[in-house]
Homo-oligomer: A and B are copies of this chain.
Amino acid sequence: MEANRQSRLEARARILKALGHASRLMIVEELADGEKCVAELTQTVGSDMSTVSKHLSLLKSVGLVQDRKEGTQVFYRLLAPCVLGFFQCVENVMDVQVQRQILLAK
């Protein structure tokens, strides 16, 4: 029955891994304000549109975002706003880590 725990953790990991990339975090941050199309996101992220599209499809594949077609455009929206709550904690870890490094450097 350990295989159960394993696969549960792998599923969790897939979602967290999807958030483990600066561009994808930027996308999530942008979508926090409401849905945006690929071109808009490409503009802010600054990579090739194909790259951004792949990031989006990864986020979609784990269920973090949803897409909606409108004419020739595709709008993405954040399906799990609860992830925005992660950032407070993450920011905290970052700050503590910075302090730690400063102490270490002395």
Binding site for B on A (CB under 8 A): 5-6, 9-26, 29, 62-64, 79-80, 82-83, 85-94, 96-97, 100
The interface residues of chain B lying within 8 Å CB-to-CB of A88 are 82
The count of identical subunits is 2
Give CA–CA (A32, B17) in the complex, Å: 20
Residues A87 and B12 in contact, CB atoms below 8 Å apart: yes
- Of the candidates B15, B26, B79, B93, the one whose C-beta lies within 8 Å of that of A94 is B15
Q: Given A83-B89, A89-B86: A26 and B11 within 8 A (CB)?
A: no
Residues B93 and A80 in contact, CB atoms below 8 Å apart: yes
- Could you list some 13 contacts between A and B, CB below 8 A? A10-B22, A11-B94, A13-B19, A15-B94, A16-B16, A16-B17, A16-B20, A20-B20, A63-B93, A80-B96, A85-B85, A86-B86, A86-B89
Residues A90 and B22 in contact, CB atoms below 8 Å apart: no
Residues A19 and B16 in contact, CB atoms below 8 Å apart: yes
